Chain A
Amino acid sequence: MNDALPKWADIVLLPLINLLLALIVSGLVVALIGKNPFEALYILVNGSVGSAYGWGYTLFYATNFIFTGLGVAVAFHARMFNIGGEGQAALGGLGVALVALAIDWPHWALALPAAVVGGALFGAAWAAIPAYLQAKRGSHIVITTIMFNFIASALMVYLLANVLKVPGSASPETARFVEGARLPNAYDVLPWLGFSRSTPLNISFFVAIVACVAVYFLIWRTRLGYEIRSFGKSEPGAVYAGISPIRITMIAMLISGGLCGLMAVNATMGEAERLVLDPVQGAGFVGIAVALMGRSHPVGVFIAALLFGALYQGGAELTFEMNGMTREMILVIQALVILFTGALDNMVRAPLEAIFLSRRRPTPPVPTTPLEPGGHPEKGKVEP
């Protein structure tokens, strides 16, 4: 890492410029299909944060993306690319549903921790096989996790259509969860904020915040986090320091899968209150964009997740209000954000560095100690 950029420019200015570029290109796409990009932007913003209704959905989606974004971010720290968030979250949904349907829960405060464990375990289990294959056999984790997304989707269709669905019912979904396994939503918790009774925003938003804090402590305040980061920075270096690549690969991917699985607590227990086909709705993939934009830092992930939550909700409004606009427009914006913040990062970084360097030039650092002949001025201090 060089220090050509001040820290604030690296973590605030650069992502903002990249985001702006992504939005401009998205606007061009909107104009290309014959719509007014400014009108689209207005509907997007107004639909996502212009009302309590919009906020409810924005924060609900953001909760999903915090979990998947954190999941992808933890894997990124170990320099692994987990594209399998989609499948891990789907399996997480299975775990949450099995917990919720297992017993007649007396109160949500008991059901929630159990569901968290269930979702995380199933999500982690689905990440375990690609992780093991990467660690032991060197199979490329990107391809195996993508394959596991397809396999998860087939598995869930099978389970919902043949095993879990209510006997006699035609729709592929489980029975409704019992009253004690329903999470209170924002209307129940904070009635004075004006959320409607049916808002999807629920208590798992706080679980997501707790997860952010936990990931922060894990990555920057524990020995394991240190090992994950050093493995990510340099595998030979980590091996030299006595860190087992197999162990770190497994642990980082299990945590990553577990976090993605937690997303299902929000989508399944918090909103649908039953397991439906595809409760994930692309959140696993959004997690990639969120982690990239958030620079794999929990605070960044939180902010990026809010942004994508707004984008999802605003995009849904867009398809209602603008004729001929489809939901896939969100996918385009998401792709452009990944492209500009992830792959084309150097395109903006290099000129930005040049600007900052040229502004620094007027006051060049004056060398205080003249170089001694034949040696570095610090030399004498190091070796007494």
Chain B
Amino acid sequence: MDYLGIIQILDSSLRLATPLLLACLAGLFSERAGIFDIGLEGKMLASAFMSAAVASFTGDVWLGLLAGIAASLVLALIHGVASITFRGNQLISGVAINFLASGLTVVIGEAWFSLGGRTPQLEGPARFQEITLPFANAIRDVPYLGPIYADLLSGHSILVYVALALVPLSWWVLFRTRFGLRLRAVGENPAAVDTAGVSVVGLRYAAVMICGVLCGVAGAYLATALSAGFVKEMSAGRGFIALAALIFAKWRPWYALGATLLFGLLEALGNRFQSLDLFGIPIPTQFMQALPYILTVVILAGFVGKAIPPRAGGEPYVKER
């Protein structure tokens, strides 16, 4: 493989890592506040559908993005009500949200468009267009560095850059603001936060809602930037892979970027090499498709070091009386 081939693969890694990164940061906020969220997948799927549906009705991708975020927020609210207000099991709530999203998107999609659960193909302003960074064409011919800038960094949709910018922003919010300190504290020791006179419930709802917004952006990216419309089950386990990446990243924003780029790279390699010969043994396509899932298990198996989750994760907080 030549240099440009490598650049191409890295380019598509970045594209494929973006929804994972957004979902991973979403999970980061939620889990740092002590709310496990298996429902990232469902929120992404719901947002993908709503954003594609509204973008196709209105022809405006920005309205689509807003609608996608709204759909994701509704599911996030359900998760919040179930796991914060009614202290239900967070895993079960997340699973219910996933099923709800995969059912509702097809039922409503069929009712609105009668295309077997798809939305119409999105074109022009109904999709996020690729942005060419300044001077990209001018320095394309510079050896080595030119292609990196012009082909790898330039030419993505705005959401890719938003996702990348969210990494330092999340770090700053979580580790350099009062809100972030309290949010992390509520995931470690909610009783202490409560004693300090800060609302545990309020903080956790805030975290769950931030999670909803980020999942909404991730879903909208899937349907309106990465592809041109919604297809049934298009999230394809990305929400779960994002969760694995989150564990791999030890609940830290910068590590999350690295982890999701790795998963993006794997998916890109799987797409690029549909059939592969390794030392004369043909590797079946299905193996390449299953590779991200296999690697997720391998990473979860902890071959990469110990990950310590937020201490109060998954536990509903009961105020002492």
Contacts and interface: CB of A to CB of B under 8 A. Distances in A.
Interface string B284-312: 10110110011011001110000000000
B290 A150 contact: yes
A140 interface: yes
Contacts of B258: none
A120 to B, nearest CB: 23
B110 interface: yes
B287 A335 contact: no
Contacts of B78: 339
Given A137-B301, A147-B244, 18 more contacts: A133-B297, A139-B297, A139-B300, A147-B240, A151-B297, A158-B284, A328-B102, A328-B110, A329-B107, A330-B103, A331-B103, A332-B103, A332-B104, A334-B103, A343-B89, A343-B93, A344-B82, A350-B86
Contacts of A347: 86
A154 B286 contact: yes
Interface in A119-171: 129-130, 133, 137-140, 142-144, 146-148, 150-151, 154-155, 157-158, 162
B262 interface: no
Interface in A307-344: 324-326, 328-336, 338-339, 342-344
Nearest to A83: B95
Contacts of A143: 240, 243-244, 247, 296, 300
Contact of A342 (B89, B98, B247): B89
A338 B96 CA distance: 6
Given A29-B104, A344-B82, A155 B93 contact: no
B237 interface: yes
Given A329-B103, A335-B103, A342-B92, A150 B237 contact: yes
Contacts of B271: none
Contact of B117 (A139, A328, A343): A328
A151 B292 CA distance: 9
B82 A33 contact: no
Nearest to B239: A146
B111 A34 contact: yes
30 contacts: A33-B107, A130-B297, A133-B301, A138-B302, A143-B243, A143-B244, A144-B300, A146-B237, A147-B297, A147-B300, A150-B293, A151-B294, A151-B297, A154-B289, A285-B99, A326-B107, A328-B106, A328-B117, A335-B96, A335-B97, A335-B98, A335-B99, A335-B103, A336-B96, A338-B92, A338-B96, A338-B99, A339-B93, A339-B100, A342-B95
A51 interface: no
A301 to B, nearest CB: 16
Nearest to A347: B86
Contacts of B87: 346
B300 A140 contact: yes
Given A326-B117, A343-B82, A344-B88, A158 B286 contact: yes
B235 interface: no
9 A-B pairs with least C-beta separation:
A331-B103, A335-B99, A343-B93, A332-B103, A33-B111, A342-B92, A335-B100, A154-B290, A343-B88
Contacts of B100: 332, 335-336, 339
B91 interface: yes
A285 B301 CA distance: 24
A288 interface: yes
A142 B36 CA distance: 11
Contacts of B83: 343
Nearest to B79: A343
Contacts of A292: 92
Contacts of B294: 147, 151
Contacts of A350: 86
A154 B287 contact: yes
A83 B83 CA distance: 19
Contacts of B131: none
A81 interface: yes
B106 A326 contact: yes
B126 interface: no
A104 interface: no
A345 interface: yes
Nearest to A333: B103
Interface in B199-247: 237, 240, 243-244, 247
Nearest to B99: A335
B81 interface: yes
A138 B240 CA distance: 17
B77 to A, nearest CB: 13
A155 B301 CA distance: 20
B65 interface: no
B91 A148 contact: no
A125 to B, nearest CB: 15
Contacts of A133: 297, 300-301
Interface string A278-289: 000000010010
Given A133-B301, A138-B302, A335-B97, A342 B88 contact: yes
Interface centre among B103, B114, B294 (most CB of A within 10 A): B103
Interface centre among A33, A146, A346 (most CB of B within 10 A): A146
A324 B114 contact: yes
B164 interface: no
B139 interface: no
Nearest to A342: B92
B108 interface: yes
Contacts of A151: 290, 293-294, 297
B298 to A, nearest CB: 10
A146 B240 contact: yes
A204 to B, nearest CB: 26
Contacts of B183: none
B259 interface: no
Contacts of A332: 99-100, 103-104, 107
A93 B294 CA distance: 21
Interface centre among B38, B87, B289, B293 (most CB of A within 10 A): B293
Contact of B96 (A155, A325, A329, A342): A342
Nearest to B240: A146
Contact of A137 (B111, B284, B302): B302
A318 to B, nearest CB: 11
Interface in B52-96: 78, 81-83, 86-93, 95-96
A328 to B, nearest CB: 4
A137 B304 CA distance: 11
A138 B290 CA distance: 23
